[in-house]
Amino acid sequence: MMRRARAAVAAVAGVLAVTLSGCVGIPAGSDPIPVTVVDDGSLVDPGGEIEALAPRAGQQPDEVVRGFLAASASNARSRPVARQYLSPQAAEDWTDDAGVTVIERNFAAVPTPDGAQVTLTGRIVGRVDADGVYTSFDEELRQVLSLVRVDGQWRIDNPPPGVILRVEDFRRAYVQYNLYFLDPTGTKVVPDPRFLLSGSVARANSLVEKLLDGPSPFLAPAVTTEFGPDVGLASNVQEVRDIEVNLTGLGERSPASLQRLSAQLIWTLKQLSITQLTLRSDGEPLTVPGAGAIQGSDNWQSYDPDFVPADLVGHYIAEGAVRTVDGRPVPGPAGEGAYALTSAGASAEQTRLAGVSDSSTGSTLLIGDYGGVLAPVLTGRSFTPPTWVEPSQEVWTVRDGREVVRVPSGALPQVVTTSDLGDRGPIRSLQMSRDGTRVAVVAGGAGVSSLYVARVARSGSTVQLSGFMPLRTGLRDVVDVAWATATQLLFLATDPADGRSKPWLVSIDGAVLTAQPLDNLPDEATGIAAAPGRPALASAGGTMYQLDDTTWTTLVRGEPFFPGTAPFYPG
């Protein structure tokens, strides 16, 4: 069995700066903040070997250290040129694949007077472990490197496990891909971002091996997989357009299990532009119901985590009534302003509606049919805008800034455990991903609120939010957040460089942050909305705006700006 053993070495730090793409209506080409770098708009591996410069005779200790870091950016297997900067024993022992530490562009390499040590200092912006999983960081780097003389030349004798790279070097050396697992209902695939060396000739094999290894520790409690511990690879997966995957340990599988397994493979491998997949079990071809013996890369589109109905349109609140982006009220009492709503949310198919009504005595959460009567289900001092969990048709909100509540269809409200939210402050916004496995959370007091991503772990009737992961963007006072795609968040936050509140796009692991267009959007934007393939919406100063390529415009071309707040897309 050729399943890759999970690395036992603790990884050193890293961050991949890769391009945000795939969200129609939200440009990804604007300038990034300094801690990240945006590529050319494609997740396609550019291929080719990145040249590394060998050490020169007579280099001083600090030059050797700088040369070593530069050569570590090579995407050549085992980084042979970087090893030339090491002593013979260190070159033999160095585990360059144990992880990556990515630091900001500016760093210092300060030698002692005798040259025997060089202290490397800088700012760590994130970590990627040996399995390619990224975690954002914001901490100081201080690494003391010992140097010795080898044939009269200075060489590093104690390189840390993994590599240390500047952001721009790491961008060239690594590429982001997604592994795809399954939501709890088994009807949607869920992306799990991973990073591989660019130019790799074994991308297909690496992706399948990592897929078989299972989801990242963060995502594992929220998803399922059809690749159990007994499933392995019978042979290496060759990277060709008509690809073949030969698995062992599948045993007897139901048609539904084979379909789900195939969806995981197709969605993972289609990133390599494959055209066909032949699935084998111990060498024997498998015929998968609904796809046949040879599957196309366009099979299993129903599993798309970014699917939205063709008629999906944006909504907002105007004078307590729910309206669509054409300025028209929705049917029924909610569109007539009967409930004096301050925020709302609808199911993706626009069959159900939830809203929040505020008064001098408190707030009320109401739920009912879209176009029908809304009934009160919960009261409190305040509620965050309701968000829908599409696979299970639940409404989620946060009561009084602290208590996360879900309202299952046809059942009483239930409090959701938030075991590790800690003292991060009141929750100002909570938005569920369309696949129902992650939530984006804005938490903290006014002026100091931050952005987090947490997972939704389900066990029977027990539901828990856990793994609250801060997305360390370097921005202040996050105001609102929306899911642009299954892997991207659109949010409003203050840029410390000029004190302006701006829209930003960030990957769900925090690896890439890009500023979004500002043209014609006032400073006081307070609400944001997004959906795959739909233009972003924002409310500012009680007026609604729509992002048209690079400019925030009126909702309807040729019409005046509509008054409104609290924009949202159903689902």
The DSSP element (H or E) to which 145 belongs, if any, is strand 134-150
Please give the structure tokens belonging to residue 387: 């968000």
pLDDT tops 90 at residue 357: yes
Mean pLDDT of 456-484: 93
- Edge-to-edge strands, sheet with 352-359: 341-346, 352-359, 362-369, 374-380
Mean pLDDT of 423-446: 93
Q: Model-level pTM greater than 0.75?
A: yes
Q: Alpha carbon 400 to chain centroid distance?
A: 28
Give the per-residue pLDDT at 390.
79
The DSSP element (H or E) to which 70 belongs, if any, is helix 61-71
Give the per-residue pLDDT at 359.
92
Residue corresponding to tokens 């969605």: 267
Please give the structure tokens belonging to residue 184: 């709890």
Residue pLDDT, tens place only, 288-339 = 999 999 999 999 999 999 999 999 999 999 999 999 999 999 999 999 999 9
Residue corresponding to tokens 């409404």: 395
Residue pLDDT, tens place only, 138-164 = 999 999 999 999 999 999 999 999 999
Give the per-residue pLDDT at 343.
98
Domain boundaries, the chain: 9-176, 177-303, 315-568
Percent of the chain with pLDDT over 90: 83
Half-sphere exposure of 237 (CA within 13 A, CB side): 31
Mean pLDDT of 50-65: 95
| Contacts for 189 with CB less than 8 Å, ≥ 6 apart | 180, 181, 182, 183, 263, 264, 267, 300, 303, 304, 305, 435
Give the per-residue pLDDT at 410.
86
| Residue 371: CB atoms within 10 Å | 15
Half-sphere exposure of 461 (CA within 13 A, CB side): 7
User: Which of 564, 25, 570 shows the shortest CA–CA distance to 323?
Assistant: 564
Mean pLDDT of 194-213: 92
* Architecture of the domain defined by 315-568: 6 Propeller (2.120)
Please give the structure tokens belonging to residue 479: 């105001």
